[in-house]
């Protein structure tokens, strides 16, 4: 695998800020099979984008936005942007 390929795969995973479990990037829209092959660790959310509200602990405020990350821990499932 090339360095570019390694960078691409690592760009779609992160750690959940709540539980520390592996989290995957959320990709919206119609996704072609080649994109699914390029990003096997991504959550494909379809074409409907729904803004979500969350309590942001760092500021103590409720924010609204489009989730870009999803925790893969079934007990947590935290989503954030």
CA distances in angstroms from 64 to 30, 41, 47, 51, 79, listed in the order given: 24, 25, 19, 6, 12
What are the backbone dihedrals phi and psi of residue 40, each rounded to the nearest 5 degrees, phi first?
-65, -25
Query: Model-level pTM greater than 0.95?
Result: no
What are the backbone dihedrals phi and psi of residue 77, each rounded to the nearest 5 degrees, phi first?
55, 30
Q: What is the pLDDT along the chain (81 residues), one digit of tens a residue?
A: 444 555 555 467 999 999 999 999 999 998 899 998 999 999 999 888 889 898 877 788 898 999 999 999 999 999 988
In angstroms, how far apart are the furthest CA atoms of the chain? 43
pLDDT for 25 equals 94
The pair of structure tokens assigned to 68 is 């870009």
pLDDT for 11 equals 64
């Amino acid at each position: 695998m090339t360095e570019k390929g390694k960078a691409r795969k690592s760009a779609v995973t992160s750690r959940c800020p709540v539980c520390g479990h592996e989290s995957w990037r959320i990709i919206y829209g119609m996704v072609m099979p080649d994109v699914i092959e390029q990003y096997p660790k991504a959550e494909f959310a379809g074409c409907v984008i729904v803004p979500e509200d969350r309590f942001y602990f760092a500021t103590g405020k409720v924010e609204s936005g489009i989730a870009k990350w999803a925790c893969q821990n079934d007990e947590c499932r935290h989503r954030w942007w």
